[in-house]
Amino acid sequence: MKKILVLEDEANIRSFVVINLRRSGFEPIEAETGEMALEKLRVNPDICLALLDVMLPDIDGFEVCRRIRATGSKMGIIMLTAKSQEIDKVTGLMTGADDYVTKPFSPAELTARVDALIRRLGIDEDERSSTELVSGPFVLNTRNRTLEKDGQRLKLTQIEYLLMKLFMENPGKAMSREDILTAVWGNDFKGELKTVDVNIRRLRIKIESDPTEPEYLTTVWGYGYKWGY
């Protein structure tokens, strides 16, 4: 998971940002003061992006930004500025920030800016280009391993997640129970083919409107299963 530094002294804004980053599959690292932020950066050299508030109790966000750049770091930096701080945008970009977001901002806006910057900086391009599998009402996010149906999160076990990934990557393809067992449980698994059926049955209860008349995860009689959507 990609680490993002969140420097913000106001606890409610900070937790709002943290919750939304976590929801988008990032690992937020929190800091309340400029000094604390610099310390967190020292112990987490793999932080790829920083969100920096400007008005802080100790050193301001621009100074933190300047100090990060002084170390030669190329990490993404987004300044969080207040509306009245138009001038801050100019100062921020001059001290080496890549972008700014004006408060108050929506979760969607913040995530969009973070995603855009990560794309622009080319951080883990391969991983990002393949983070979502979409099929009908289902969206499988392979970065945070979650499944949504019509925008509603469905709780899956890791095995169920792997089954969904296998099916959604192979739409319309009939897969034998042996193939499924090997793909999901691995070559060394000594279990029975029944294991596949048991888990498919459980998965159907979660994803199908009527598990007895499956619409998506259909049975291929005498063979196995397929993603029928």
Candidate ranges 4-12, 14-22, 102-110, 167-175; the one touching Ca ion (CB under 5 A): 4-12
Strands 217-220 and 224-227: antiparallel
Number of residues that bind Ca ion (CB under 5 A): 3
89 vs 165 by CB, closer to Ca ion: 89
Q: Which is nearer to Ca ion, 81 or 199 (CB)?
A: 81
Distance in Å, CB of 183 to Ca ion, minimum: 49
Q: Which residue has the tokens 């095995």?
A: 159
Residue number of the CB closest to Ca ion reads 55
Helices (H) and strands (E) counted in the chain, each on its own, are 9, 12
Does 160 interact with Ca ion (rule: CB under 5 A)? no
Comparison of 53 and 98: residue with beta carbon closer to Ca ion: 53
Contact 51, 7 (CB under 8 A): yes
Tokens of 200: 């498919």
3-state DSSP assignment of residue 189: coil
Binding residues for Ca ion restricted to 52-91, rule: CB under 5 A? 53, 55
Residue partners of 11: CB distance under 8 A and separation at least 6:
32
**Which part of the chain contacts Ca ion (CB under 5 A), choosing from 40-48, 49-57, 138-146, 199-207?**
49-57
Whole-angstrom Cα distance, residue 6 to residue 196? 43
Q: Which residues bind Ca ion (CB under 5 A)?
A: 9, 53, 55
